[in-house]
Structure 1
């Protein structure tokens, strides 16, 4: 049975810092000694295979942990980003296509417009 799409508007605010709280706990326990973004990058590469179906307004879309996507803005410019999931909550890290540099991780809700999400395509 297919799950109903999760409406990103209904994510509770504590979901935005779940992974940060997990990282802080690991630091306090001396289980890891890496900065938050380095830990998030490791989690992205080593994270469990998972996917989620989300909804923003009328737009329904799927995201896969470890995948790279692109959306297009009103001006036609593309934004490339990678995705990781934490219990169906999406985090994204934008990529500079010119340099290949990845920016810090942020929670997905409210990062994209509905129009951008309509152009969503998986790159790899």
Structure 2
């Protein structure tokens, strides 16, 4: 193999890796941990989804649900559903199947945080849940 052929082969591999499939660039969010606030609930996923969840009370009926080290099956339309007072409070579409992600929620009254469910909207089934304490 000539030097020129070797260089072209390396360039082609780099080009395909970086641009051909789009997987060479990380798309995992890395949101910063909330500043201030009080952690009012925590939990962990332990099945098809891994990672931890913390719920921060930021005051004035404002909460941040923080997913850390999230790793879920890579598919479009994965949702996070927080269960509060034994009912689904809302539905968030995850920005990515991996990473550290923060989601804002406004809720009032006395709240009992039950669980965070990760759901496949395309398969219409729950992938995993993190019980909260």
Q: Give the TM interval when normalised to the shorter protein.
A: under 0.3
Normalising by structure 1, we get a TM-score of: 0.26
TM-score using structure 2 length: 0.25
Q: Which structure has the larger Rg over C-alpha atoms?
A: 2
The structure that is helix-richer by fraction is 1
